[in-house]
Structure 1
Amino acid sequence: MAFTGRPIRIAGASGSASDRRHAIAEFAHHHPTDPVDVIIADFMSEFNMATAAGKREDQKGAAGPAAPAYDLSFLEALNPALEDLAKYGIKLAVNAGVADTKGLHEVVTNMVKAKGLDLKVAWVSGDEVLPAIQKSLAADQSEFRNIYTGERLADWSFEPIYAQCYLGGLGIAAAFAEGADIVLCGRVSDASPVIGAAYWYHGWRRDELDKLANAFVAGHLIECSNYVCGGNFTGFKTLEHGGDGWANIGYPIAEISAEGDVVITKQAHATGGAVTVDTCTSQLLYEIQGPWYFNSDVTAVLDGIHFEQRGINRVAVRGVHSGPPPPTTKVGITARGGFQVEAWWWLTGLDIEEKARMLEAQTRRLLAPSADRFTALNFDLLGTSLSDPHNQNRATVPLRIIAQARRAEDLTPTKFLRPITDNIMQGYPGATIHLDLRQGFPREIFEYYVTLLPQSAVQHRVHLPWKPTVDTQVLDISPPPQCQTYPARQPSQASTCQTRPVDLVHDFGPTVRGPLGWIVHARSGDKGSDANCGFWVRHRDEFLWLRSLLSVETARQLLGETGQTQPPLEIERFELAGLQGVHFLFRNLLDRGVGVTTTVDFLGKNVAEFLRARHVDLPVRFLNRGKL
């Protein structure tokens, strides 16, 4: 059934399992003065997908109750909202099932019954695809190459225990069309709830790709909740004053018309943050990998995208184009990867580098009897001491020692923690170890292998338990009728294409050496082992300078030692002229991904902050407009 007369208003109420818990209830409670039609919330990530897979496996052999493999924080967010959801007829779609959506459905259904509410709860299945992977491997139908490394699955040195694919939004749309009030999903793509809600509300068809692409982009913009309202935003200093400032950044709303037009806004009641062209640009650049942005329902083509400020906290999305979806969907395969331990030391004052070298030399010698069984052993100095510091804490720098091994017994306290603590008496001046040694005991880690599976091999289903007969309780969602195969690599240009060469030394006037971030915004994130980073500027003439400055080679230089990998780091680049931006994809910068990487920046979110801190020659006339 299609609604007419106004856009659908979709609220983004959670961006991760560690988001604040109040937004679903807050949106529902304020419905009379700030109405929304659907609330969506995202509780899944590559990290909790992998760890939940381990919990799911543990359940099989557990003698008693095992840890749930669905997300518990969603239940905290849902419970206080249920009465208002029922009272105002607000729909809810979430991807909180993680590795046990059916189990989550049972819990939520019981919560609804306990409150005496008449809410219909549906759930979506089909994302669990390990049997399909194994069947295809056995039939020699696919090599299932890793999309980041090119490795064949058969050559992977780990044993898969679980596999999840990314589903589109049409199962959610079907559930709403059948009367569902709450739709629980496992691994749908982060934007799929928004696609599904708009598709249902407006009665769209599958071949209306431009509308789907705009809804897809809207979903990407609000999927991370506060990010599009000023969270994780390099212009955060502008948000400090006025209203609630940055103390209570609000949650977003996407308004999507029947024609697919999108406006991003935010909660009307008192919250901080802002929705601007820059906050929307920041979120748009997050986690994309090139001009083609893939979903199981549609491909959004981003090279012409731009934003238009339509009023206070109102930004329109323009210039999104579409293509058919790919015939495949992304699959994350989980395996038990071994175990990890850590220990932290404090180094203070002068000679930090020399103290770190001394500690590393001594520690390596003490760990030598066990180190041949480690699969990783890293010593990372995190920061530098201030010159002439005004207090002791500002003169103190942590050093992190991290080790991994396939077996827990190779990382027991006698083989890792004890040798490290025993070093204190021969240590550097002021040698002090962190007294919380809990990270020095082995914790399990999970490898995550990303590949592609034909959508035709996925059994996408919607479960409607309130229906009267078995035949009507399950709906099959067919794969897209029209697909397009895209090249394995996104379009990339190593440097800008100008009608005339630009001279960075002379064309922009006098320069001064300083951090790139004095002029340039940036945003980065993770996709498996890849990190992306998008840069943009506030003024059109600054974009000419930015696109000329930021070539692939310059990006490699800015990465410095961080980018010195073997084999050499692959970097892809494209420009977004409508956003005055340049985007980079740094392939395999994050080691093996969030669940197992030894890097401190395991989510890739600080790649942008590091690169903004690097010094380049900045035109003085741009600085005269004010630093970011």
Structure 2
Amino acid sequence: MTGPLRIGNCSGFYGDRFSAMREMLDGGRLDVLTGDYLAELTMLILGRDRMKDPQLGYAKTFLRQARECLALAADQGVRIVVNAGGLNPAGLAVKLRELSGELGVAAEVAHVEGDDLAPRAAELGFGEPLTANAYLGAWGIARCLDAGADIVVTGRVTDASLVVGPAAAHFGWGRADHDRLAGAVAAGHVIECGTQATGGNFPFFTEITDLSRPGFPIAEVHQDGSSVITKHDGTGGAVTVDTVTAQLMYEITGARYAGPDVTTRLDTVELSQEGPDRVRITGVTGEAPPPRLKVSLNAVGGFRNEMTFVLTGLDIEAKAELARAQLEAGLRTRPAELTWTLARLDRADAGTEEEASAILRCVVRDSDPDVVGRAFSNAAVEMALASYPGFHLTSAPGSGSVYGVFTPGYVDAAEVPHRAVLADGSTVDIEPSGESRALEEVAEPRLPPPLPPGPTRDVPLGLIAAARSGDKGGDANIGVWVRTDDQWRWLAHELTVERLKRLLPEAAELTVRRTLLPNLRAVNFVVEGILGRGAAYQARFDPQAKGLGEWLRARHVPIPEELLP
């Protein structure tokens, strides 16, 4: 098979645009339609669903989308591959078979399982988490498709596996085809988050003519592993080298992008604009995967509550200090964790009351729901007539809510029973890769020659640099890239770990790692521990670090005048 395989995406997270599945099926030709519904936080949500009802644990949204679109997909011969099975892929497969019978649609439904390690968590040294799921690879998906499945649902596979599996099945790739597999991983990584590849959350968004409703992305994967990223004609958004770079830089840790089937060398990726809304990905090389699989561990950490005080006008610092002292004195039992954050959003001589106000947040956590419940929030309300002038809160008192804790784990691939459950009910065991390679840091590439000295201006970094940031457990990544070779010569020398820590004081005391990606004119930073114990822990007001890159772009640095627009 030498023609490209057109693989579309219709979901980047659990809660994405509901109509996207129909839009993708109506919009033009596809061979395969994928959907990514899982994230570290989603696994916690599904785990709590399963606690309430053991029959749940899958993404219910997908089942409703299938009700609308199953017949359309069958008529067009589009195969569907999604990770919407979550913690219960077998249960979702049963529901899909019932649905296809009810609708009178002939659809062979298969699923992939074995990732759920919760029953064996203690035995594997993971304690007793709410969820424990190993990241499986693409070969179970490929086996289901080889056996004729029209729909494949999985649990926790790597996001890119939704693309790699169909490509491997279509082209007949083998386990040792590391470069081809790595090329498909790159394509899968680009389209896995839906419209983030077509202009969504894009730093230079004002350059895109129509962002009212960006189209979802398509990867045209070729037999050699190269691909073209595109979208249906007539849809909003744009596919450019920059929008594709933005997604390539999302939630990565370094030059080696490890997976269960292949380790993709992100430092080999080459991008080129092939035409309007068409970006070609070439040159990607791969290596044998590491011997261990990553495991996503989610546990209930305890109970959390917060109250937010509004401080207006003069003496903001003194007002904040009074509020802190009064609330802490009024608590009968001090919570295990109590943290204060003052956000100085106020302006001098403001024209509106809101612009004259700062925000003071108090967040508490404890294993006892009563300690952080009404006893805490009522203590804040009781201050209303006895505290700083202009006292008011942003919410009424309330009870505490459960918060989650994410921990990454690792397990030998041989310990994980990767199984393809075919449409006829038979099972096929998928063996782990026969070849593995321990992960190691890539040698730092040679820096480009620095720019000659010249006049500079103190302006926002974002005038010439783009950025994309996101969460990786308790860590965050910030990918930064520029558009010209001269800008790259400046960025590679200027944006060091030390400079980043000065620009982002929240990272000053944390470990920060930097990776240069010259092919993309990019530098990636991993800020360790800035998100505490994961997104569900809500250590920061931006718990998934979505705005961290935009904060960096807004900071002022001395940029050579010759580089400025």
- Deviation track 1:367-411 (CA, whole Å, cap 9, x = no partner) reads 2x211xx23212223451244444333444433221111121222
Q: Does 1:529 align with 2:490?
A: no
Q: Is the 8 A contact 1:305 1:576 kept in 2?
A: no
Partner of 2:494: 549
Q: Does 1:480 align with 2:421?
A: no
- Judge which range, 345-354 or 104-113, deviates more: 345-354
Offset, 1:442: 1.4
Give the counterpart letter for 1:431 in structure 2. F
From 4, 8, 27, give the equivalent of 1:7: 4
- Deviation track 1:175-207 (CA, whole Å, cap 9, x = no partner) reads 111111111111011111100010111111111
- Deviation track 1:472-492 (CA, whole Å, cap 9, x = no partner) reads x111111111111123xx347
Cα 1:508–1:317, aligned 2, differ >3 Å: closer, same or farther? farther
Q: Is the 8 A contact 2:307 2:395 kept in 1?
A: no
Q: 5 Å matches for 1:94-493? A: 94-137=82-125, 159-239=128-208, 241=209, 245-268=210-233, 270-367=234-331, 369-371=332-334, 374-413=335-374, 415-437=375-397, 440-465=398-423, 467=424, 473-487=426-440, 490-491=441-442
Give the counterpart letter for 2:547 in structure 1. N
Q: Is the 8 A contact 1:455 1:479 kept in 2?
A: yes
Q: Is the 8 A contact 1:264 1:275 kept in 2?
A: yes
Unaligned runs of 5+ in 1: 61-65, 138-152
Q: Does 1:73 align with 2:61?
A: yes
Distance in 2 (CA, whole Å) between partners of 1:392 and 1:96 is 46
Offset, 1:351: 4.1
Distance in 1 (CA, whole Å) between partners of 2:350 and 2:427 is 66
Offset, 1:601: 1.3
Length-normalised TM-score, structure 1: 0.86
Q: Does 1:617 align with 2:558?
A: yes
Q: Which SS does the other structure have where 1:9 is aligned?
A: strand
Q: Is the 8 A contact 1:492 1:572 kept in 2?
A: no
Offset, 1:356: 2.7
Unaligned runs of 5+ in 2: none
Offset, 1:499: 6.9
Q: Which SS does the other structure have where 2:371 is aligned?
A: helix
Distance in 1 (CA, whole Å) between partners of 2:264 and 2:502 is 31
Q: Which SS does the other structure have where 1:583 is aligned?
A: strand
Cα 1:353–1:613, aligned 2, differ >3 Å: closer, same or farther? farther
Partner of 1:581: 522
From 3, 23, 27, give the equivalent of 2:24: 27
Distance in 1 (CA, whole Å) between partners of 2:363 and 2:555 is 27
Distance in 2 (CA, whole Å) between partners of 1:387 and 1:198 is 59
Cα 1:356–1:27, aligned 2, differ >3 Å: closer, same or farther? same
Offset, 1:35: 0.3
Distance in 2 (CA, whole Å) between partners of 1:132 and 1:584 is 35
Q: Is the 8 A contact 2:254 2:524 kept in 1?
A: yes
Distance in 2 (CA, whole Å) between partners of 1:425 and 1:550 is 49
Offset, 1:5: 4.0
Q: Is the 8 A contact 2:345 2:355 kept in 1?
A: no
Offset, 1:508: 4.4
| Sequence identity percentage | 36
Q: Does 1:54 align with 2:14?
A: no
Q: Which SS does the other structure have where 2:271 is aligned?
A: strand
Offset, 1:223: 0.1
- Judge which range, 423-432 or 14-23, deviates more: 423-432
Distance in 2 (CA, whole Å) between partners of 1:320 and 1:351 is 57
Length-normalised TM-score, structure 2: 0.96
Offset, 1:22: 1.0
Give the counterpart letter for 1:238 in structure 2. E
Give the counterpart letter for 1:411 in structure 2. V
Offset, 1:54: 3.2
Q: Which SS does the other structure have where 2:437 is aligned?
A: coil
Q: Is the 8 A contact 2:43 2:131 kept in 1?
A: no
- Deviation track 1:303-330 (CA, whole Å, cap 9, x = no partner) reads 1222100110000112311100111110
Partner of 1:591: 532
Q: Which SS does the other structure have where 2:365 is aligned?
A: strand
- Deviation track 1:531-577 (CA, whole Å, cap 9, x = no partner) reads 111111111101111111011111121121x124xxx4111111111
- Judge which range, 357-366 or 213-222, deviates more: 357-366
Distance in 2 (CA, whole Å) between partners of 1:24 and 1:318 is 28
Offset, 1:352: 3.6
